[in-house]
Chain A
Amino acid sequence: MELFELTAHELHAKLDRQETSAEEIVRSVLGRISRVENSVFAFMTVNIDEAITKAKEIDEYITSGKKMTPLTGIPIAIKDNMCTRGMLTTASSKILRNYIPPYNATVVEKILQAGAIPIGKTNLDEFAMGSSTENSAYKVTKNPWNLGTVPGGSSGGSAACIAADEAILAFGSDTGGSIRQPASFCGVVGLKPTYGRVSRYGLIAFASSLDQIGPLTKDVTDAAIFLNSIAGHDPKDSTSVDLPVPDYRKSLIDDVKNLKIGVIKELLGEGIGSSVKSSILEAAELLKKLGAKVEEVSMPTLKYGVATYYLLATAEASSNLERYDGVKYGHRSSEADDLLAMYYNTRREGFGPEVKRRIMLGTYALSAGYYDAYYLKAQKVRTLIKNDFDKAFSKFDCLISPTAPSPAFKIGEKTDDPLSMYLSDIATIPINLAGIPAISIPCGFVNDLPVGLQIIGKAFSEEMLFRVAYTYEQNTEWHKRKPKL
């Protein structure tokens, strides 16, 4: 096995036994990037020199006998909507094409403190708005399993680089499924933590009541290790929650006996591919065989999730994206003779079609005369969806569903039809609306493309998700498959 193929916990064990060095790991990963990146296109920026310098520093630190963390010397890819001080951060947009943040996102600061090595910044749908990474203003990331299909989105670069072994761990952000759906399409593990579990400080805001940062990893153990180091309260993000962070490694238990697991009926019906459906039912069957009590549960409001989301998320986005006005950073139009012309032209030139569409939709939903009918109504439906989850969790320890209605679709297949693109997030969106955590893990293949199983828990029950996901992983082989590149 090459070093780049290993997980963070495997590399940590090797470092601990002094069988390898941070520099060897970084060089192995950079070598892999140089071989496959020109077919995957996962990265916006690769930090070649900085990563090697940092690795040498880390090796000195280790040989001086100082204490390692589980992330010491581990190369991590960072989605390009997270601020990295002194390192270009574009959100894959034209309007931030030259933005160099003067500060680090809290999660970036945390992994640096832990001794991890930022290996590069990954491609995304512009401002994380999209489900295929085709909305990047710069490049289309390819799915490593089939280069003619999308990696999912918006964290498509992060999911693809993990599947292609171009990084050991990667950061994603998830507003309506942007960690889990690409994890599903690329056959990797992706966790959206509970809203407030991880600080959003330094994450370029899309929809502030829904956005959450989380890990994309090669296995469940790595997801637990990664969450350990990024979770917790941050005074710089007043929506981060001040609750103790458990050691998530302790929840990696191969046992689901007597756990009550609900299979969501509405997410196995209309619009869900039959082969995806059978993969999920087989996963449910396996969990049952392993001792869980598996039953069907009906959640009738979930089918309204996508409609609700596209009113609320766009409304929040239209407000968050007001800051891109050409004044303090980013692009300013050269046609800026007066202030209004500067705003209009800067934003016309700087935003891509999907971002403009969402700013329009959100502004419309918030505008005088439509606020009650669209925005307020959607907020009330959000309550109903949350109530449906509360009800389900009074009976079940966790819920399962497909992560996405289909495996990865073809590049270009949905770009002309925004609504059909939006509907590919039907199973992930309700989770963001309810603020709860969910993990996607590989659970099968259809036409050589991965299928993801989504495990959903109540607020701050990440330990339950890790336990069920770990048990499933220990009893299957899907996560061991690698794409041929």
Chain B
Amino acid sequence: MLVDKIPALPAFGEACREAGLHSIIRSMKVTAKDVEHVAKLARLGLTEDEKKRFTEQLSRILDYAETINKLDTKNVSPTSHAIPMKNVFREDKFLPFEDLQEIIANAPKEDNNIFSVPRIME
């Protein structure tokens, strides 16, 4: 499909919208390939059925999410926290944890108080 080859640049979406080409954006919203790519980024295993369902559902949700494009935000700065925040520093001080065993007891696999994971290097 041609639309799959077009790089996913937001500017492209904007340009289409300005040109009134809503149908193009709509039809290319989320493809099965996008779903696979995003699942890989999220290290999330999906079943075939989930892939199919998410392709359709994410497209619908994003169609709805795009209603915010009706708002002009040209000179608006983004808000990440609604209540004014500043960085909080504290002393870089070592404090022992009360009971190490309570932490280690939660480990799916441990070896002498060390979290054990599958081999990562040959």
A residues sitting closer than 8 Å to B (CB atoms) are: 85-86, 98-100, 102-103, 194-196, 209, 235, 238-239, 241, 301, 304, 306-308, 310-311, 318, 322, 325-332, 336-345, 347-349, 351, 353, 356-357, 359-361, 363-364, 367-374, 376-384, 386, 418-419, 422, 433-436, 459
CB distance from A202 to the nearest CB of B (A): 14
Interface-central residue, B45, B54, B98, B99, by most chain A CB under 10 Å: B45
The answer, yes or no, to whether B78 is at the interface (CB within 8 Å) is yes
The answer, yes or no, to whether B19 is at the interface (CB within 8 Å) is no
Q: Which residue of A lies closest to B42 (CB)?
A: A363
Q: Which residue of B lies closest to A335 (CB)?
A: B45
CB distance from B76 to the nearest CB of A (A): 4
Interface residues on B, range: 35 or more
Expressed in whole angstroms, the Cα–Cα distance for A346 and B3 within the complex equals 34
* B 55-90 contacts with A by CB, 8 A: 57-58, 60-62, 64-71, 73, 76-83, 85, 88, 90
A360's partner among B42, B45, B76, B90 (CB-CB below 8 A) is: B42
Inter-chain contact A308/B68, CB cutoff 8 Å: yes
Inter-chain contact B35/A360, CB cutoff 8 Å: yes
B102's partner among A100, A195, A370, A386 (CB-CB below 8 A) is: A100
> Contacts A332-B108, A348-B47 given: A196-B76 contact, CB under 8 Å?
no
Expressed in whole angstroms, the Cα–Cα distance for A103 and B98 within the complex equals 9
Inter-chain contact B73/A380, CB cutoff 8 Å: yes
- A459 contacts across to B, CB distance below 8 A: 82-83
Q: Which residue of A lies closest to B119 (CB)?
A: A338
- A382 contacts across to B, CB distance below 8 A: 78-79, 82
The answer, yes or no, to whether B93 is at the interface (CB within 8 Å) is no
Inter-chain contact A373/B10, CB cutoff 8 Å: yes
Inter-chain contact B8/A328, CB cutoff 8 Å: no
> Contacts A102-B103, A331-B108, A369-B10 given: A307-B81 contact, CB under 8 Å?
no
The answer, yes or no, to whether B2 is at the interface (CB within 8 Å) is no
Inter-chain contact B38/A364, CB cutoff 8 Å: yes
The answer, yes or no, to whether B46 is at the interface (CB within 8 Å) is yes
B106's partner among A330, A371, A435, A436 (CB-CB below 8 A) is: A330
Inter-chain contact A344/B45, CB cutoff 8 Å: yes
Inter-chain contact B107/A328, CB cutoff 8 Å: yes
Inter-chain contact A235/B76, CB cutoff 8 Å: no
Decide if the interface of chain A is mainly helix, strand, loop or mixed: helix
- A103 contacts across to B, CB distance below 8 A: 98
Inter-chain contact A374/B65, CB cutoff 8 Å: yes
Inter-chain contact A378/B115, CB cutoff 8 Å: no
- B97 contacts across to A, CB distance below 8 A: 102
Inter-chain contact A383/B77, CB cutoff 8 Å: yes
- B80 contacts across to A, CB distance below 8 A: 209, 379
Inter-chain contact A345/B45, CB cutoff 8 Å: yes
Inter-chain contact A241/B83, CB cutoff 8 Å: yes
Q: Which residue of B lies closest to A321 (CB)?
A: B42
A372's partner among B10, B37, B39, B66 (CB-CB below 8 A) is: B10
Expressed in whole angstroms, the Cα–Cα distance for A359 and B41 within the complex equals 10
Inter-chain contact A102/B102, CB cutoff 8 Å: yes
- A364 contacts across to B, CB distance below 8 A: 30, 34, 38, 58, 62
- B20 contacts across to A, CB distance below 8 A: none
The answer, yes or no, to whether B96 is at the interface (CB within 8 Å) is no
Expressed in whole angstroms, the Cα–Cα distance for A353 and B49 within the complex equals 11
Inter-chain contact B42/A419, CB cutoff 8 Å: no
The answer, yes or no, to whether B26 is at the interface (CB within 8 Å) is no
Q: Which residue of B lies closest to A334 (CB)?
A: B108
Expressed in whole angstroms, the Cα–Cα distance for A413 and B98 within the complex equals 47
Report B23-56 CB contacts with A as 1/0, cut-off 8 Å. 0000000100011011101111111001000100
Inter-chain contact B44/A307, CB cutoff 8 Å: no
CB distance from B103 to the nearest CB of A (A): 5
Inter-chain contact B82/A434, CB cutoff 8 Å: yes
Inter-chain contact A310/B65, CB cutoff 8 Å: yes
Inter-chain contact B68/A377, CB cutoff 8 Å: yes
Expressed in whole angstroms, the Cα–Cα distance for A253 and B83 within the complex equals 28
CB distance from A126 to the nearest CB of B (A): 15
> Contacts A342-B117, A363-B42 given: A418-B68 contact, CB under 8 Å?
no
Q: Which residue of A lies closest to B77 (CB)?
A: A383
